[in-house]
Structure 1
């Protein structure tokens, strides 16, 4: 990696986050008060608690791996039952890995206070997305599953050697006892087979079971943080969400919805993951 000393992180044009410091006004019966929120401080608190060393530079945080982070408010809603729901973005930039930057969303809720909701969303991010991003700055990923793919030269770029780093996946099943084992065969595909009733889940399933839709991203020369989310409700309704560097990726969403159709009916289930793709020598 080259030195980051002259690198200045920028906010992605598509990032809908608004600000990092703000106040939220509350009222109940005859009482009214406000809660001051500094998202950068909350993210710093969370990362420090997770054992990650960071330094603050204005609204930005810089990690030991020279990853720059900027949390921003997207929305805050207080419901009649007293639960608050928060939505934020975290902008991520790195001078050599992702100089143009990317962003991703965090959603959380709390009955305690606004800070607790924001803190909860950041903690989920720190234990999933941040792990994949951090591993991607290392010469070899050790804490995440990874694999490499080679692509021939094209008119707009030479031969590519791409590494895929599979971040920790969030996986919930209403009927976990119905799950079977799933193992990666050779690092390039997994053995999940919905048609035969097998329903295991390994770290590469979400991407490899939908990989045709992602070939344009994999074959490009740019950095890509791929958000994968697939779910099925109790009534069988299918949901999916897919973004690349924070921007909606429709082909990926369609492919993920098709993948959900292969899942045996086991009640509510969701799978969520970030996969980071970048060039290696």
Structure 2
């Protein structure tokens, strides 16, 4: 049974648009997932300007998960990472007490190309909100796969259907990439309390209604949950155990409003270390004037 349907809201990031799904006014989280953006799809021409890039910016209290269907993004962060991500791979960045990173479209700038993918944020359990920051990259070949009854899938993170992803997580969750043939029925995992399916491409039928691209279906806890593909369809399926209330402001997530205020003050004052290999500029706190780091903490 469906509990709620959330349509993406298109938001401009300056050089391209994303479809924002979470947080939503009537549904802030699904399990530990507190943020869900569909990046693109967009076609970049060669020579795109630098302002298309996502310049260095901070996070606390969460893990970011970047997963692409098409394109390439170069990630650099304040723990020393420099890692391109390509389709089917996973960039899992844990902010903990604080991390900064940039996301740049260097491959598209040089050669042109498309971008299509999902960036999600997972809140950290309260005991881990101030853990040391970290970054992990996983190649496409290490993710568990399944293929049955017209449904092909890969377990991006967590556990489901007896499979366990090698991606390091901090709370019970699941995150799946699923491709359904027309007419195939897919039953969501029944061993996680909160569950949702996002339609990337194609359309599905659920609870007697058809749902197309850009729509997230949130299912009722403790009830059977399934979708049937009306055509060839690509889904991202997610959920897990709820972690309790989280506050979100800009790029900061915390169980404490005071901690977010401290993070804002630290960023404004230049007390958060910038990416080791990308420390020449940064995104100001919303409402603040642009600034160039005079003495970046690198």
Q: TM-score, normalised by structure 1?
A: 0.26
Structure 1 or 2: larger helix share? Answer: 1
Q: Which has the larger radius of gyration?
A: 1
Higher relative contact order (CA 8 A, sep 6+): 2
